[in-house]
Structure 1
Amino acid sequence: MAEERPSGVIGKLLGSLNIAVRRVLFTFLSSGPIPQHIAFIMDGNRRFAKKWKLEEGAGHKAGFLTLMSILKYCYEAGVKYVTVYAFSLDNFNRRPDEVQSVMDLMHEKIEGFLKELNMVNRYGIRVLFIGDLSRLSEPVRDAAQKAMEATAKNTRTYLLVCVAYTSSHEIPRAIYEACQEKGGGSRGSNGIVSDDEDIVKLVDLEKHMYMGVVPDPDLLVRSSGETRLSNFLLWQSTNSLMYSPKALWPEMGLRHVVWGIFKYQKNYYYLEKKKKQS
């Protein structure tokens, strides 16, 4: 048997140390409330590539590796639902070659994620793609469907990937579908709906939201220091705490997840009070 190289031994030691540190941090955090749902706006991939003079697309590839790490940290901390803003409907207005490049990368990464069976099975991840999936290229749409089917029986944790998504599309769509479901209702001579059962209520709208399949996010994180929601979860984030670390998305790491959860715990009772008032 070949003698193991020192660099390999050091790598294993550092890996073990990293796991031990995470266990200590998450044990400490578990003494307080853990957010059930964290949503991420993954901002700064292109700026990261420009900052380090990398080729076009390298920032998104680095961002995918960051996503894998962030998912691991969230699930280990006890977070059940993680939502990421992968591609906005507005992004289809970019240059066609840039859109195609992102579609190709998305297809590659979905296929790559399906090969990460150890991680998927370890955390029991169910993958859901959220948005107007008809706008995706056929290979991406097929890969997304395959990922959802392959993980459909998992229920321990969830990964929601918002693609071809904006709130300004989600909300009118939900209103339209709720009205269609009610069938118009019966109206009096003044034109007002007279049957309470035919009035579209809040619960009817939320049932038809793309994001109606999971609880609203407790914590919304946008990397790169930006505080704009950029048409993301506008309906669902009314009572969410927003955290905006200055790190670009590929620079996000364990400390940002820990600090975000800590900020949530500091504001937990205030947030719960606001939820009860709304």
Structure 2
Amino acid sequence: MGHKPWFWQSKQTGQTANSEENVPEHIAIIMDGNGRWAKKRALPRIAGHNEGMKTVRKITRSANRMGVKVLTLYAFSTENWKRPKVEVDFLMKLPEEFLSTFLPELIEENVRVEMIGDIEKLPVHTKRAVQNAMDRTAGNDGLILNFALNYGSRSEIVNAVQAIMNDIQSGVLEKSDVTDETISQYLMTSHLPEPDLLIRTSGEHRLSNFMLWQLAYTEFFFTDVLWPDFSEEDLLEAVAVFQKRSRRFGGLS
């Protein structure tokens, strides 16, 4: 499916984004601020998470229209199990609700659903919903909508190191074979390009155990906008900022 050229200029900052320039191939987003969005409105936290799912749908459409190849969304971290059980139970029901309503559109738009994280530790109903979406969109070759679900970057790296050690012990690898590229090949994202742009909403300025290896040369964009309020214009502004940066990957300017 082709993407029509687009041009956008922010009325507030004057930043411009142009589809004929450098659109990020892979955008990763730490979706933060659902709870604060709800608190500001005297609503329960789960109302913020529910509203946040609507934003996921909106931003997925926008990214697909822009020609982004991969959109990775940090949906649930390995640390999020520490939250109150009522909130965790609600969050585990969201993928089923979201994917059941959005899946026909994803199929029509040629979007492929993928996941990074430990799927085996998810509740049966959550795992079933995610696996069904991945199976039904497996043949699509458009935007990859990649959910980081029950995901933690440190455990991902530990698992990769352990797998490499096992392969060295079994003779599949030599110690001298282990390079940056080798480690990348043992990560959950081995088949994906590393993120070009990371967006974090709600005014926080940390990575929260998200894609620590993969973000080594990623451009960061932080915004005070809470995730449920994050709009297509906010996404375009982030892309506009990205397009004006010079990526040197450690080289000279």
TM, length-normalised to structure 2 = 0.89
Q: Do the aligned residues in 2 keep the contact of 1:43 with 1:222 (CA within 8 Å)?
A: yes
Q: Which amino acid aligns with 1:118?
A: E
Q: What residue in structure 2 maps to residue 91 of structure 1?
A: 80
Q: Do the aligned residues in 2 keep the contact of 1:183 with 1:198 (CA within 8 Å)?
A: no
Q: What residue in structure 1 maps to residue 210 of structure 2?
A: 232
Q: What residue in structure 2 maps to residue 5 of structure 1?
A: none
The count of aligned residue pairs is 243
Q: Does 1:254 align with 2:237?
A: no
TM, length-normalised to structure 1 = 0.81
Give the C-alpha shift of residue 23 in structure 1: 4.3
Superposition pairs for residues 4-23 of structure 1, below 5 Å? 23=6
Give the C-alpha shift of residue 244 in structure 1: 0.8
Identity of aligned residues (%): 34
Q: Do the aligned residues in 2 keep the contact of 1:71 with 1:82 (CA within 8 Å)?
A: yes
Could you report, residue by residue, the CA deviation over 1:31-59 in whole angstroms, capped at 9, with x for unpaired residues? 31110000000000011011112234111
CA distance in 2, matches of 1:110, 1:156: 17
Instruction: Identify unmatched segments of 5+ residues in structure 1.
Output: 1-19, 187-194
Q: Do the aligned residues in 2 keep the contact of 1:223 with 1:244 (CA within 8 Å)?
A: yes
- Answer 1 or 2: which has greater helix percent: 1
Q: What residue in structure 2 maps to residue 120 of structure 1?
A: 107
Q: What residue in structure 2 maps to residue 16 of structure 1?
A: none
Q: Which amino acid aligns with 1:74?
A: A
Q: Do the aligned residues in 2 keep the contact of 1:129 with 1:161 (CA within 8 Å)?
A: yes
Could you report, residue by residue, the CA deviation over 1:164-207 in whole angstroms, capped at 9, with x for unpaired residues? 10111100001111221222559xxxxxxxx9566433222211
Give the C-alpha shift of residue 276 in structure 1: 5.9
Q: What residue in structure 1 maps to residue 12 of structure 2?
A: none
Give the C-alpha shift of residue 119 in structure 1: 4.2
Give the C-alpha shift of residue 275 in structure 1: 5.8
Q: Do the aligned residues in 2 keep the contact of 1:182 with 1:198 (CA within 8 Å)?
A: no
1:167 to 136, 140, 153: 153
CA distance in 2, matches of 1:212, 1:148: 17
Superposition pairs for residues 146-157 of structure 1, below 5 Å? 146-157=132-143
Q: Structure 1 residues 119 and 111 mapped into 2: Cα distance closer, same or farther (>3 Å)?
A: closer
1:103 to 92, 110, 114: 92
2:129 to 143, 155, 163: 143
Q: Do the aligned residues in 2 keep the contact of 1:179 with 1:200 (CA within 8 Å)?
A: no
Q: Do the aligned residues in 2 keep the contact of 1:171 with 1:209 (CA within 8 Å)?
A: yes
Q: Do the aligned residues in 2 keep the contact of 1:35 with 1:79 (CA within 8 Å)?
A: yes
Q: Does 1:76 align with 2:59?
A: no
Q: Structure 1 residues 56 and 260 mapped into 2: Cα distance closer, same or farther (>3 Å)?
A: closer
Q: What residue in structure 2 maps to residue 8 of structure 1?
A: none
Task: Name which one, 1 or 2, has greater alpha-carbon Rg.
Answer: 1
Q: Do the aligned residues in 2 keep the contact of 1:185 with 1:198 (CA within 8 Å)?
A: no
Secondary structure at the aligned position of 1:25 is classed as strand
Q: Which amino acid aligns with 1:42?
A: M
Could you report, residue by residue, the CA deviation over 1:218-262 in whole angstroms, capped at 9, with x for unpaired residues? 000000111100000110111111101111000000211111111
1:60 to 49, 53, 63: 49
Q: Which amino acid aligns with 2:66?
A: A
